[in-house]
Structure 1
Amino acid sequence: MTQSLTLRRPDDWHLHLRDGAMLQGVLPESARHFARAIIMPNLVPPVVTAADAAAYRDRILAALPEGAGFTPLMTLYLTEETDPEDLAAAHASGLITAVKLYPAGATTNSASGVRDFDKVRGVLEKMAEIGCPLCVHGEVTDPEIDIFDREAVFIDRVLDPVRRATPGLRVVMEHLTTADGVAYVQAHDRDLAATITTHHLIINRNHILVGGIKPHYYCLPVAKRENHRLALVGAATGGDARFFLGTDSAPHTDANKQSACGCAGCFTATNTMSCLAEVFEREGALDRLEGFASLHGPAFYRLPPNEERITLVKGAPVHYPAKILTGAGPVTLFDPGFPLHWRVAE
C-alpha cells in the first residue's frame, strides 16, 4: 500500500481571498501548499480595471507570510463597461492571467456582472485575439429556472452560443457541478477546460439538507445529486487534462454563514490536499493526482508546472482545526465527513 506520494507543488485555479482582515487571515492557508492561484475579482467594489488588479495584487503580496513562495494570478471582473484595450494591456504586461464572467446575480458580489452578452462581444473578441482565457461562473440567473438546473441551462443558452460566436476564445468552466458539464467539456478538444472543486468531489445535495440544514456545505453552484458527484469524481480522477483543480475556497465568517440568509461558499484551502488524496485513493487513482492538482492547469494556462515538490504521507488521521480565526471573525473549515489519513509533510 502506498504510504507516501511526491508530486509537483500544486496550484489552485480558482480561489477567493477577499480583502482586509479576511485576506490577512486566510492567505497563509493557501500559501502553505499552493504555489499559484487564480484570484477571484468579486470584491466590493469589484476588480474591473488594470489599476484595480495591480492594487489588489499589491495588497495580497503585502499580506503574505515572510518567506512564502506564492504567486497570485490576477483576474479582471468582466462588466458591460470593460475596456478591451485596458484588458489587453493588462494581459500583455502579465498583470492579469484571465478575465472572470459572472452572470449578474449568480453568486457572492456578482451584481456588477453581465446581463446583456451583446454588450461584451467586443471584449470577448479581443480576448480570443490575444489568447486571454475567460473563466466562467456557469449558471443562468432567471428566477424561473430551478437552482439545480442552472448550470445545464447556462451551457445551452449562454456558453455554447458565446463560444460559437467567438472562435478561438479560451474558456474555463469553473466549479463544474453536473454530468452535463462534464459531457460538454469532453465533447470539445480545443479551447475549453473546467475546474472541479474539492467539496463538489465529496458532497451532494443530501449533505446540505438531510437531518437539518448544514450551512457550511452550502455553496454556489449548489451541490447536485449523487450521479453528478460521481461524474465529477470520474472526470477528476480519470487523467483527462481538460479537468484540473480549482478549489473555489470561499471564506465567510460563521456569523455570515449561520444567518437567516447565509452566504454561499466552502472554505477548503487548509485541507484540500488531504481531501483530494482520500478521493483519489478510493478510486485507485493516486498516480493521477499530480496531473489534476499540478500539471493540467498550467498546461491550459500556458504556464510551466512548478519545479518544487511536495510529499503527501499517509498515517494516523490528521486533525485540522475546526475554524480559522481571522480578524474578520472565525471561518469554519470544510469537514469532509470522513477521516483524513493523508497530510502534506512539512
Structure 2
Amino acid sequence: MEFTINSPIDMHLHLREGAMLERVTPLTSEHFSAAIIMPNLVPPVDNLERLLQYRQEIEAARGDDVFDPLMMLFFRQYSEAELLAAREHIFGIKLYPAGATTNSEAGVKALDEVEETFALMEKMGIPLMIHGETHGFVMDREKEFLPVYAKLAEKFPKLKITMEHITTRDAVELLDRYENLYATVTLHHLVITLNDVAGGLLNPHLFCKPIAKRPEDREALLQAALAGHPKLMFGSDSAPHPISKKECCGCAAGLFTAPVCLPTLVELFEQHDALGNLQAFVSGNAQRIHGFTPPAKTVKLEKIGMDMPARYGDVVPYRAGETLPWAVTDIS
C-alpha cells in the first residue's frame, strides 16, 4: 500500500542552534517542504540581523534538501521601521507569555502594553502566532488563555492569529467563533493524554508544554484533524533536548517527533479511514490560510515497516525502538 503527500509543511518547529541544529535539521528538511522556525533561542531571535544569521545556519544544515525555513521574530514591542525592514524576511511574529515555556523568560508580561505592535502587524499583514497559556493550574492554563484570543480577535479583526499547539476541546470550539482565528496541533497531542505521561512510571520523553490533557480533549483534536477542519494546520512542535536534560530532575519540556511525523500521521489517518483529509492538514490548509506556496516536493510512503532507532545522537525520538507500519520510501 502506498500514499503520497505533496509539499508537506510543519507549521511549528524547533531546531535549536549549533550541534543540535546540525543534527536535527535534516530530519525535517528531508521530508518537509517548509517549516516555521521557532525563535525562542538564547538570546531570542528578536532583530533582523540575528534572524538572517539564523536562517543562514539552517540553510547550511539542510544541505541539498528542498526546504524553506519560514522565519519568525520573537515578539517584543517593535517600531514601524523595524517591522518594515523585517517584513520580507519573516513569516510572522511569535508571542510567548513570559516564563510560559522553554526560553520564554523574555516574553510578554502585559498584553495591553504591546497593543501598538499588534496594530502595526495588522496594518502590515504580519501574522501573529501565540503560545497561549497562563500561569494558572497546569491543566487549565490553555483554557484560561482562551479569552485573550477572543479579545485580540475582536480588537484586531484583520490580524491573522494562530493559536499554537492547541490541546483542549474548548480551543477547538473557539476556532469557529472568529474569522481571523486559526490553530496548529501537534502529532503527539492527537495521540497521547496525561495518562501516558504520568499515569504509571513517569515518562520524561512525553513531557511537553502545553501538557497533554484528558481523553475527551484528545478526541476533539483528533476529530477536527481527521475531518480536515479548514482552520486547523499541522505543527509538530518537535523540540529536541539531550538525554541529560530529559532524564533528570527538572525535566525539559518537549517531544522530538521530527523523524516520525509523516509515517505516524499516515498511520493515524489510515486507522480512521481519513487519508483523504491528510493533505489538507499537512499542507493545503496552511497554504490557503497564509496565501503562500512552498517548494514543490512529493513524499511517497509505503506500508513496509520502519524500525525507529533508540537515539539520534543524544536525543531520544518519539516512538524510539518501535516498528512503525509506514515508511518514507521516495522523495522527489
Q: Give the 3 Å change call, closer, same or farther, for CA 336–229 of structure 1 in structure 2.
A: farther
Q: Alignment RMSD, CA only?
A: 1.4
The aligned counterpart of 2:160 is 170
The aligned counterpart of 1:198 is 187
The aligned counterpart of 2:107 is 113
Q: Give the 3 Å change call, closer, same or farther, for CA 279–336 of structure 1 in structure 2.
A: farther
Q: Secondary structure at the match of 1:87?
A: helix
The aligned counterpart of 2:326 is 342
Give yes or no for the alignment of 1:219 onto 2:213: no
Residues in 2 aligned to 1:305 and 1:69: alpha-carbon distance in whole angstroms = 10
The aligned counterpart of 1:154 is 145
Letter in 1 for 2:149: L
- Contact residue 42 and residue 108 of structure 1 kept, 8 A: yes
- Contact residue 275 and residue 336 of structure 1 kept, 8 A: no
Residues in 2 aligned to 1:333 and 1:44: alpha-carbon distance in whole angstroms = 23
The aligned counterpart of 2:79 is 83
Worse-superposed segment, 99-108 or 190-199: 190-199
Q: Give the 3 Å change call, closer, same or farther, for CA 220–173 of structure 1 in structure 2.
A: same
Letter in 2 for 1:89: A
Q: Give the 3 Å change call, closer, same or farther, for CA 84–149 of structure 1 in structure 2.
A: farther
Q: Report the count of equivalent residues.
A: 330
Residues in 1 aligned to 2:43 and 2:162: alpha-carbon distance in whole angstroms = 24
Superposition deviation, residue 231 in structure 1? 0.6
Sequence identity percentage: 40
Give yes or no for the alignment of 1:333 onto 2:330: no
The aligned counterpart of 1:209 is 198
Among 149, 154, 169, the alignment partner of 1:179 is 169
Residues in 1 aligned to 2:323 and 2:57: alpha-carbon distance in whole angstroms = 36
- Contact residue 266 and residue 333 of structure 1 kept, 8 A: yes
Residues in 2 aligned to 1:183 and 1:307: alpha-carbon distance in whole angstroms = 33
Give yes or no for the alignment of 1:252 onto 2:249: no
Q: Secondary structure at the match of 1:270?
A: helix
Q: Secondary structure at the match of 2:220?
A: helix
Residues in 1 aligned to 2:321 and 2:273: alpha-carbon distance in whole angstroms = 20
Q: Secondary structure at the match of 2:162?
A: strand
Where structure 2 has 5 or more consecutive residues not aligned to the other structure, the ranges are none
Where structure 1 has 5 or more consecutive residues not aligned to the other structure, the ranges are none
Q: Secondary structure at the match of 2:233?
A: strand
Superposition deviation, residue 179 in structure 1? 0.3
Letter in 2 for 1:50: L
